[in-house]
Amino acid sequence: MEYRALGNTDIKLSAITYGSFAIGGNMWGGNVHKDSIASVQASLENGVTTIDTAPFYGFGLSEEVIGEAIKGKDRSSIQLLTKFGLVWDGSNQGKGIHFFDAVENGNTIPVYKYAGKGSIIREVEDSLKRLKTDYIDLLQLHWPDDSTAISEVMETMERLVEQGKIRAAGVSNYAVAQLDEAAETFLPASNQVAYSMLNRSIESDLVPYAIQNKVGIIAYSPMERGLLTGKYFQDGKLKEDDHRNEYFKQFDLHKVKGFLDKLSGLAADKSVSLAQLVLRWTTLQDGITVVLAGARNAEQAIQNAKAMEVSLSHEELTFIEKELTHVISAN
């Protein structure tokens, strides 16, 4: 495993970082508690020391599972990354911006983007309790909240750093202009954004900015929510309430399958899985600090960690790049 510096901080994160959206259950067709615990613990045992979560994932469940999974572990050897700014419990009292309606156990739950000072402080205290810890290594704004001044958000996180509640402050889904505005108050250590073989839009502006200003990039959805594992093309069946039924419609699936068929040959030559090859490619891209990889059970977690053992030559990277041009142009 490689461990990489987070932006301009002295915090080191594992290049493959455990992504915990799926173990929250909501929007992913549920979960199995014991498997979720095992997946976190297997990650730690195989060098994946960084865990990314959020209160919204399972409406607190993901954080609770992680808190249970790391109980008794050496806290100083684990980096806990969580977020704030998606409010669903009504505590925003009508403030913020309606984002979407989530469905949980047949109930519709309005979710708001809200990052006012008081709300941030409350969310952090709730996260600390669920995670069973007294500090968070990296606290991130989950989504931009246009109803709250960026300066207020950054000032609040700066205070939390000073208080020792968090070690570093980051954002998610920020554009370059928003990062520039944030830096006028407090430069974020990182920006968590979507990035994958099929979604490389950040390479044009965000990556150069991040490199120049020492802002870490945490890449989420590198597997495009499982599409790039190739498993979808083997049976194509997802549970009815799985959000990916709609999400996958944005891609030319015929083109994607053709690309994955070619990539599968390269993976077979290396005796690795398609998912491992995709993850490793992502970690090798300019400006990418760490890559999030979800796991529902221990075996998936182990295989994610082993992705860092995959070696890709200059010729092989060129081959992948050439094949990708056909797919990206189609989407």
Question: 112 an active-site residue?
Answer: no
- Give ∠ CA 238-43-243 in degrees, rounded to 5: 20
Which 8-state DSSP code applies to residue 73? Answer: S
66 in Cβ contact with 20 (< 8 Å): yes
Instruction: Report long-range pairs for 173-178 (Cβ below 8 Å, ≥24 apart).
Output: 173/142, 173/143, 173/144, 174/141, 174/144, 175/206, 176/205, 176/206, 176/209, 178/144, 178/150
Catalytic-role residue among 57, 112, 174, 195: 57
List b or e across 19-42, with b for residues whose CB sees 16 or more CB atoms inside 10 angstroms: bbbbbbbbbbeebeeebbbbbbbb
Cα–Cα distance measured from residue 46 to residue 305, given in angstroms and rounded to the nearest whole number? 6
Q: Which amino acid is at 162?
A: E
Sole residue written with tokens 């067709």: 29
The catalytic site residues sit at 57
